[in-house]
Chain A
Amino acid sequence: MSVIVEVNRIRLTGRCGVEDAEALLTALQANPAYAIDLADCRTLHTSIVQVLLVSRSKIIAEPVELALRRWLLPLLASGGQAFELLPDGIGFSVP
């Protein structure tokens, strides 16, 4: 179970695969103003990113997973327009 509808928000958790796209779409169509919480999301399939891009849902919590943050955050922020990827390994490795 990766798509969890809560009060005012929809949480995507763990590995969100293509099979979760329809559940997310249904949840968003029922609650279009709900924001998306990606804090516990590990991976996000393209099909789900498409839903987020088209619905233009507000992201209220960013994913923690570094590999995902790298491209997903700038992608959602730019709505798909040309964006710069975050550098690899933004984490604890501050020199």
Chain B
Amino acid sequence: MLEITDLHVSIEGREVLHDINLVIRDGETHVMMGPNGSGKTTLLRAIMGFGGYTVTSGSIVFNGENVTEMPLHERAKRGMGMLYQRPPTIAGLKLGKLLDVTAKERADQIPTLATELNMDRFLERDVNAGFSGGEIKRSEVLQLLVQNPSFVMLDEPESGVDLENISLIGNATARLLEKDQHIVHRTKSGLIITHTGYILDYIDADFGHVLCDGVFKCHGNPREILKSIKTHGYQECIACQRM
């Protein structure tokens, strides 16, 4: 699904990600952990193709196609999707209208999906205007369910979400990633940034990665990595040379 090779990314002339290598196969879910400011969001945004994130060397190959220089919306059209940690507010644009213009084959499912995510009352509200933390995440997941990407990147899906909403968002995320399907039949893949690991209770992640100072420091079993971080903090990861 996704193959990142020797990727270096700069923001305003300063290199933020160094020599990133990552392979995510069809049906796999990967989680990424790391201290604040380590470059996790930058990596997601560079994969998605946001402006201001300059790939100085290396490549991003998505479903066999080199997308390194491809515009953002072309990557979205090819099946990439992203859940924002802090999405912008768009005054005047109604959530329902946004769903209508971005929906393709799932347009007829909008009312059902909105109800399931408890967002039906928000369709006539301006996108993200005055939404609480949980409402923002429900809105993001709803948009992704309607967009139906084959590869989703989730930037801290559980941050700012209360316990009641965690299960709603966790289960919806599992649905985004087709977790109800056997790995053999599952086609959707994901890359998830998490600090708390709560999301792991809803999705069985296959691989974990630790990013520190723009470099991958560790790859392995996500739960074991999380346990180690909870016990020892990121210091061990930073010191660790095991790759």
A and B are interacting partners: no
Interface on B for A, CB 8 Å cutoff?
A: none
